Amino acid sequence: MNDILVTGATGNVGRQVVDQLLDSGAAVRALVREPASAALPAGATVVGGDLSEPDGLVEALPGIGSAFLIWPFLTTEGAPAVLAALARHARRIVYLSSSGVDDHAARQTDPINQLHADMERLVKASGVEWSVLRSDTIASNTRGWAAQIRTTQAVRGPGIAATAVIHERDVAAVAARVLTEPGHAAATYVLTGPEVLSRAEQVQLIGEAIGRPLRFEELPLQVAREQMLADGRPPALVEALLDSAVARPASDAVTATVQEITGAPARTFRSWAREHADEFL
């Protein structure tokens, strides 16, 4: 059996993909920057590598059959070389994209969705079988609010359109099926949670989970920019996030894709908040 390569294997989604692939009996190769500190399950083969250095992937790729690709950069620079390296070994690439990508738009609404649209085109042109998972906002992103919640009664940040927040385990469950089952070639799946939630509603549900009243306070863009920079986020990332917050159109889209592929309904954000309550205390 060829290994399934999981990139971003120590991240919120990648770690879940590793776990669920192992549960299915698949042979998993986890690509990480620092193998010594990866702390992944014993069943996974941990290999060192960095997507920013395609030449360094030579030893990590032989013997893989499929690859789960999370692109962690703000541009596609370097992506053609990485995809070419993957294509020399893998028969299938599953790419984690964004539900905000619009196939009918000449240009996407913001830099992050444009990046994903550009990456999708590169993946499809790679010469190997491909599948694209367009995920809505992932619940674990709210971990970025933990410091504020521990010390105040409020989460302060830029406003952003409500979205059907999805549990990262559901994204991983779909990824594991698509990576191990036939019938998903050239498929694009839009993955959402079961309900559309504003940031204020997400904060309220975290408050319920930890037993404290919390509120969301929308900040003017310039104030939000100053706060994010003071937190140590790279300037390019700050601008991309703010552009996304301003440009993201409202959407009430909720799909049944998680249940259709996995056989189980998508988990609610309320359940995610209860599972992770200790992280906010």
pLDDT digits (tens, 9 = 90+) for 89-99: 999 999 999 99
- In 3-state terms, what secondary structure has residue 181? coil
User: What's the whole-number mean pLDDT along residues 152-161?
Assistant: 92
- Ranking 28-32, 155-159, 263-267 by mean pLDDT, the lowest is 155-159
pLDDT-derived band at 241 (thresholds 50, 70, 90) equals confident
Tokens of 264: 């189980």
Q: Tell me how crowded residue 276 is: count the other CB atoms within 10 A of its CB.
A: 17
pLDDT of residue 1: 61
Q: DSSP state, 131?
A: E
The number of angstroms, rounded, from the C-alpha of 234 to the middle of its chain's C-alpha atoms is 19
pLDDT band at 126 (very low <50, low <70, confident <90, very high): very high
Q: Are 166 and 227 in contact (CB under 8 A)?
A: no
Q: Please list, residue by residue across 19-46, b when 16 or more beta carbons sit within 10 angstroms of its beta carbon and e when fewer do.
A: bbbbeeebbbbbbbeeeeebebeeebeb
The share of the chain scoring above pLDDT 70, in percent, equals: 100
Taking 70 as the threshold, does the pLDDT of residue 231 lie above it?
Answer: yes
- Bridge partners (DSSP) listed for residue 190: 134
Residue 141 placed within a domain? no
Q: How many CA atoms lie within 13 A of 247 on its CB side?
A: 16
Where does the pLDDT of residue 6 fall: very low under 50, low under 70, confident under 90, or very high at 90 and above?
Answer: very high
Please determine, for residue 175, whether its predicted confidence score (pLDDT) is greater than 90: yes
Q: Is residue 176 part of a domain?
A: yes
Confidence of residue 152 (pLDDT cuts 50, 70, 90): very high
Tell me if the pTM is above 0.85: yes
Range 177-188 average pLDDT: 98
Is residue 101 one of the residues assigned to a domain? yes
Give the helix ranges, DSSP H, for the chain. 12-23, 79-87, 111-124, 146-151, 168-180, 199-210, 221-230, 235-247, 257-262, 269-275
Residue 281 included in any domain: no
Question: What is the dihedral sign for C-alpha 20, 92, 49, 228?
Answer: negative
> Given the structure tokens 């440009």, which residue do they identify?
247
Number of domains in the chain: 1
Q: Residue 225: inside a domain, yes or no?
A: no
What is the three-class DSSP state of 4? strand
Please report the pLDDT score of residue 250 as a whole number.
80
Instruction: Return the bridge partners of 67, or none.
Output: 5, 93
Return d(Cα 214, Cα 42) in angstroms, integer.
Answer: 39
Query: How confident is the prediction for the chain on average, in pLDDT?
Result: 95
Number of residues assigned to the chain: 281
Task: Give yes or no for residue 150 having a pLDDT over 70.
Answer: yes
Query: Does residue 104 fall inside a structural domain?
Result: yes
**pLDDT confidence band for 184 (50 / 70 / 90):** very high
238 to 110, 143, 243: CA distances (angstroms) = 13, 17, 9
Does residue 248 register a pLDDT over 90? no
Q: Band of the pLDDT at 41, cuts 50, 70, 90?
A: very high
pLDDT of 42 above 90: yes
Give the helix, strand, coil percentages of the chain, each rounded to 5: 45, 20, 40
| Residue 94: inside a domain | yes
CATH of the domain at 95: 3.40.50.720
pLDDT at 245: 83
Contact yes or no for 21/179 (Cβ under 8 A): yes
- Which of 63, 166, 73 has its CA nearest to residue 122? 73
- 62-99 confidence digits (pLDDT tens): 999 999 999 999 999 999 999 999 999 999 999 999 99
Domain of 104 in residue numbering reads as 3-134+168-191+253-266
- Average pLDDT over every residue of 159-167: 94
Are 212 and 128 within 8 A, CB to CB? no
66 within some domain: yes
Q: Which residues of 176-198 are buried (b: 16+ CB within 10 A; e: fewer)?
A: bbbbeeeebeeebbbbbbbebbe
Contact 50, 34 (CB under 8 A): no
